[in-house]
């Protein structure tokens, strides 16, 4: 009787680099340079390796198991986000909502200040990451960055700044809420 033995193959993912983007790898750290800036990320893994071959970023795994396949998919998603960030950028839009006390926002350098939240006398402040830009456009706050994770962290910290515990947001709507995540509208 022949046993059912699954032959595992070597997995390989190739990500093409668009025009104007250069890449380099050193010690599993991928560095990308593009029109909107530079990004680097450590992709150190015992199960996968990363290299640059002919204008493409190549990710290899020695085994073809489910675990390595998932790992390559995650690495590909991170690299795609890095490329999209240095070519076009990532934008998060947030809406300022209030019922009685008008909330005012101001940005100075890397510090975002929220004044008059629920009539509070002292302003609330949050420090934005270094590579994130924020601007106030009327009742909206726009957060931009070439790093998707930094933009998401900044938007989350602003949303948490005006969060009220034990209040139903359907009734007490005061706060600053994410309305668009990187081109996808949030309902």
What's the CA gap between 62 and 58, in Å, rounded?
A: 13
Is the distance from CB of 40 to CB of 30 less than 8 angstroms?
A: yes
The pLDDT tens digits of the residues spanning 162-180 come to 988 888 877 888 899 999 9
Edge-to-edge, what's the strand order for the sheet holding 184-185? 132-137, 140-145, 90-97, 175-181, 184-185
pTM of the model: 0.84
Is the distance from CB of 47 to CB of 96 less than 8 angstroms?
A: no
Residue-range domains of the chain with CATH: 11-87 (3.90.930.12), 90-185 (3.90.930.12)
What's the CA gap between 19 and 143, in Å, rounded?
A: 26
Name the phi and psi angles at 103, rounded to 5. Answer: -85, 135
The pLDDT tens digits of the residues spanning 124-161 come to 999 999 999 999 999 999 999 999 999 999 999 999 99
């Amino acid at each position: 009787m022949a046993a059912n033995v699954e032959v595992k193959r070597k997995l390989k993912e190739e990500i093409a680099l668009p025009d104007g983007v250069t890449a380099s790898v050193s010690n599993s750290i991928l560095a990308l340079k593009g029109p909107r800036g530079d990004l680097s990320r450590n992709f150190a893994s015992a199960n996968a390796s990363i290299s640059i071959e002919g204008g493409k970023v190549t990710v290899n795994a020695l085994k073809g198991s489910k675990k390595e396949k998932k790992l390559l998919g995650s690495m590909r998603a991170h690299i795609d986000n890095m490329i999209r960030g240095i070519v076009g950028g990532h934008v998060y839009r947030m809406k300022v909502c209030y019922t009685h006390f008008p909330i005012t926002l101001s940005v100075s350098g890397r510090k975002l200040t929220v004044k008059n939240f629920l009539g509070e006398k002292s302003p609330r402040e949050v420090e934005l990451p270094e590579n994130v830009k924020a601007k106030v456009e009327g009742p909206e706050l726009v957060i931009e960055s070439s790093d998707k994770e930094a933009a998401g962290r900044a938007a989350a910290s602003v949303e948490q700044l005006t969060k009220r515990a034990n209040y139903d947001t359907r009734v007490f709507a005061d706060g600053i809420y994410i309305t668009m995540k990187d081109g996808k509208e949030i309902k």
